[in-house]
């Protein structure tokens, strides 16, 4: 058995790195700023270091450090005693019709409105053989049933596996081409990714590999949210590299450990919806939203006749590494998450712009439970967030309110937004696209691993239009709401803030003004803490 001192040391180092503060036995993970995403990342490191297999779900049962440490000691002892054999994941079946998850059912409905495409842009550095790449991609789709499924209408929709699915993969060798040819090829590839899938007849997965030099490549493609979320994009790239390297060594990727299958989560979530737990969650949300008005909306700045015909437009901001570090220091000082800081600042701006003191906006929650962190599929679920600002007159009170709401979401992470439409006021009878007009999300999923001489870097909106040979254009995916705020962690330590908006309702200069006000509000929070602690 590993020594108790070593186990305690790894546990304490991991907790303190994740929470940004010293911990003792009474430190509560969630009260000191932890959330479901940071729990997944922390436990992934601990499990790798100790050979344990704790799932993030244990954090809800052992949220205090002392209880967690005892649980980790027992797990480490159990694992080394050989009494807990690993249970291999189920291998993909040759042909199967299965139930969809409640999250997938929502996206099946939205797909009919041409909503739900997920853009995929990666720069790859290192050698890639086109033939091996296509073979690896086919094997990855065989390994994950959710990447080779079509969907049949019904209540609920059914998922139909396509056992012999071969992904549509275009490869282009652009080495030696002049800059104009490369730019045209990249822009054409991005334009092709705008096409919408017919989920009843098409597997929603297309990818292009463009080789710019012997060691520089672009991956451009699109999937649909019925098959993936942001976290799963990382898992997809990791598994693609794993399979590619196996083929590169001349070995059979079928010998790799089977991948976990999304079908198990879908069945578990359906069982939840048929049991008593969903009624408990329903009662909770009825209490939270009792007396709430209609979803918060921004005042339109353009008349209906001014419609541009575009599906979306973007206003962008980068908080450079120094400003981003100040935001993270503020979060650490207040024992909250960076997400909490950024959302609180946005709520303050939104209240000033709309004149509303009881905000009802959208955010996204992680629906993954124990064992789901390595499963490719759609787990992220949108939920309305109610923030009555009269109850939060100070930043500290607002942070506490946001923290309470996010713990609510974590506790009821399997709860589907569709149940709000059927059971909870003021959402009953609304369409899926009309539950809220404004959505805020912080995409802090991990970057794909690197290795075997290749590095993968995910491109975001701020990479559009940069002075590169390929000149990646801005994405043209349709925004689901009137305003969608998406924040990314960048590899250089900066924070990228993107306001995607409906150009038929809002003038670009007005949206840019909201973005500037948001940046100023974030800076005010940070400066306030610097003044107190300086």
Decide if 334 contacts 529 (C-beta within 8 A): yes
Decide if 211 contacts 123 (C-beta within 8 A): no
Backbone dihedral angles phi then psi of residue 224, each to the nearest 5 degrees: -130, 150
More confident residue, 520 or 446: 520
pLDDT digits (tens, 9 = 90+) for 38-58: 776 677 678 778 878 776 667
d(CA 500, CA 439) in angstroms, rounded, equals 10
d(CA 86, CA 373) in angstroms, rounded, equals 17
- For residue 451, give the DSSP letter: B
Mean pLDDT of 250-263: 90
**pLDDT for position 263:** 92
Strands (E), 356-494: 358-366, 380-388, 438-443, 455-458, 483-489
Counting beta carbons within 10 angstroms of the beta carbon of residue 160, is it exposed (0 to 12), middle (13 to 18) or buried (19 or more)?
Answer: middle
Lowest mean pLDDT among 98-102, 247-251, 529-533: 529-533
Decide if 366 contacts 380 (C-beta within 8 A): yes
- What does the chain come to in residues? 534
Percent of the residues in the chain that have a pLDDT greater than 70, as a whole number = 87
* Whether residue 138 has pLDDT greater than 60: yes
Residue among 432, 366, 352 nearest 111 (CA): 432
Nearby residues of 275 by Cβ (< 8 Å), 6 or more positions away: none
Mean pLDDT of 272-284: 92
Residue among 381, 494, 458, 416 nearest 36 (CA): 381
Mean pLDDT of 503-516: 90
* Whether residue 449 has pLDDT greater than 70: no
More confident residue, 504 or 448: 504
* Whether residue 414 has pLDDT greater than 70: yes
Q: Give the confidence band of 532 by pLDDT, cuts at 50, 70, 90.
A: very low
pLDDT digits (tens, 9 = 90+) for 70-118: 888 888 876 654 443 333 334 444 347 888 999 999 899 888 887 888 8
Residue among 513, 444, 435 nearest 481 (CA): 435
The SS3 of residue 324 is helix
d(CA 184, CA 194) in angstroms, rounded, equals 16
Decide if 101 contacts 378 (C-beta within 8 A): yes
Q: Measure the CA angle with vertex 107, ends 341 and 139; round to 5°.
A: 95
**pLDDT for position 2:** 60
Edge-to-edge strand ranges of the sheet holding 438-443: 313-319, 495-501, 483-489, 438-443, 358-366, 380-388
Place of tokens 């024992």: 335
Alpha helices (H) in 228-261, listed in sequence order: 230-248
Please, what's the largest Cα pairwise distance for the chain?
A: 72
**pLDDT for position 85:** 35
Q: Is the dihedral of CA 223, 229, 234, 236 positive or negative?
A: negative
Q: Which helix (H) or strand (E) holds 189?
A: helix 179-192
Place of tokens 């056992």: 163
* Whether residue 473 has pLDDT greater than 60: no
Q: Give the confidence band of 462 by pLDDT, cuts at 50, 70, 90.
A: low
Lowest mean pLDDT among 197-206, 357-366, 447-456: 447-456
Average pLDDT over the chain, rounded to an integer = 84
Helix axis angle for 338-354 and 508-533, nearest 10°, is 130
Mean pLDDT of 351-373: 88
Cα 505 versus chain centre, distance: 27
**pLDDT for position 146:** 94
* Whether residue 424 has pLDDT greater than 60: yes
More confident residue, 355 or 468: 355
Mean pLDDT of 258-274: 92
Residue among 49, 186, 198 nearest 114 (CA): 198
Joined together, the tokens standing for residue 95 give: 């042909």
Q: Give the confidence band of 156 by pLDDT, cuts at 50, 70, 90.
A: confident
- For residue 192, give the DSSP letter: H
pLDDT digits (tens, 9 = 90+) for 300-320: 877 765 444 456 788 888 899
Helix/strand/coil (H, E, C) string of 86-141? Answer: CCCCCCCCCCCEEECCHHHHHHHHHHCCCCCEEEEEEEEECCCCHHHHHHHHHHHH
């Amino acid at each position: 058995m590993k020594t108790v001192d070593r186990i305690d040391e790894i546990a304490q180092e991991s907790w303190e790195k994740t929470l940004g503060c010293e911990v003792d036995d009474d430190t509560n993970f969630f009260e000191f700023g932890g959330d479901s995403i940071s729990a997944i990342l922390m436990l992934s490191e601990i499990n790798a270091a100790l050979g344990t297999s704790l799932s993030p779900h244990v954090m809800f049962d052992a949220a205090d450090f002392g209880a967690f440490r005892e649980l980790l000691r027992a797990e480490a002892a159990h694992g080394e005693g050989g009494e807990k054999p690993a249970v291999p994941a189920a291998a993909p079946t040759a042909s199967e019709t299965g139930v969809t998850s409640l999250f997938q059912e929502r996206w099946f409905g939205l797909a009919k409105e041409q909503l739900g495409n997920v853009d995929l842009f990666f720069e790859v550095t290192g050698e890639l053989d086109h033939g091996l790449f296509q073979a690896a991609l086919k094997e990855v789709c065989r390994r994950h049933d959710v990447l080779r499924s079509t969907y049949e209408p019904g209540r609920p929709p059914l998922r139909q596996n396509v056992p012999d699915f071969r992904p549509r993969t275009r490869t282009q060798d652009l080495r030696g081409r002049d800059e104009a040819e490369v730019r045209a090829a990249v822009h054409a590839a991005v334009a092709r990714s705008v096409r919408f899938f017919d989920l009843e007849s098409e597997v929603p997965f297309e990818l292009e590999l463009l080789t710019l030099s012997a060691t520089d490549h672009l991956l451009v493609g699109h999937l649909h949210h019925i098959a993936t979320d942001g976290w799963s994009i990382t898992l997809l790239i990791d598994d693609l590299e794993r399979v590619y390297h196996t083929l590169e060594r001349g070995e059979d990727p079928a010998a790799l450990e089977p991948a976990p299958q999304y079908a198990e989560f879908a069945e578990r979530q359906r069982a939840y919806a048929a049991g008593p737990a969903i009624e408990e969650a329903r009662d909770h949300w009825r209490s939270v939203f009792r007396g709430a008005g209609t979803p918060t909306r921004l005042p339109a700045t353009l008349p209906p006749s001014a419609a541009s015909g575009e599906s979306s437009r973007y206003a962008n901001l980068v908080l450079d590494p120094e400003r981003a570090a100040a935001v993270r220091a503020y979060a650490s000082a207040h024992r909250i998450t960076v997400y909490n800081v950024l959302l609180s600042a946005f709520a303050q701006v939104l209240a000033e712009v709309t004149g509303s003191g009881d905000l009802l906006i959208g955010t996204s929650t992680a629906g993954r439970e124990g064992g789901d962190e390595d499963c490719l599929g759609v787990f992220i679920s949108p939920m309305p967030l109610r923030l009555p600002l009269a109850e939060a007159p100070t930043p500290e009170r607002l942070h506490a309110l946001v923290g309470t709401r996010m713990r609510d979401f974590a506790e009821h992470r399997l709860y589907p937004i569709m149940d709000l439409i059927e059971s909870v006021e003021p959402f009953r009878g609304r369409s899926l696209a009309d539950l809220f007009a404004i959505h805020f999300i912080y995409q802090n999923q991990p970057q794909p691993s690197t290795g075997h001489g290749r590095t993968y870097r995910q491109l975001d909106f701020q990479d559009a239009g940069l002075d590169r040979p390929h000149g990646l254009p801005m994405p043209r995916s349709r925004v689901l709401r009137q305003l969608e705020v998406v924040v990314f962690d960048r590899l250089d330590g900066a924070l990228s803030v993107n306001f995607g908006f409906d150009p038929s309702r809002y003038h670009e200069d007005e949206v840019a003004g909201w973005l500037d006000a948001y940046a100023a509000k974030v800076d005010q929070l940070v400066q306030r803490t610097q003044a107190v602690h300086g």
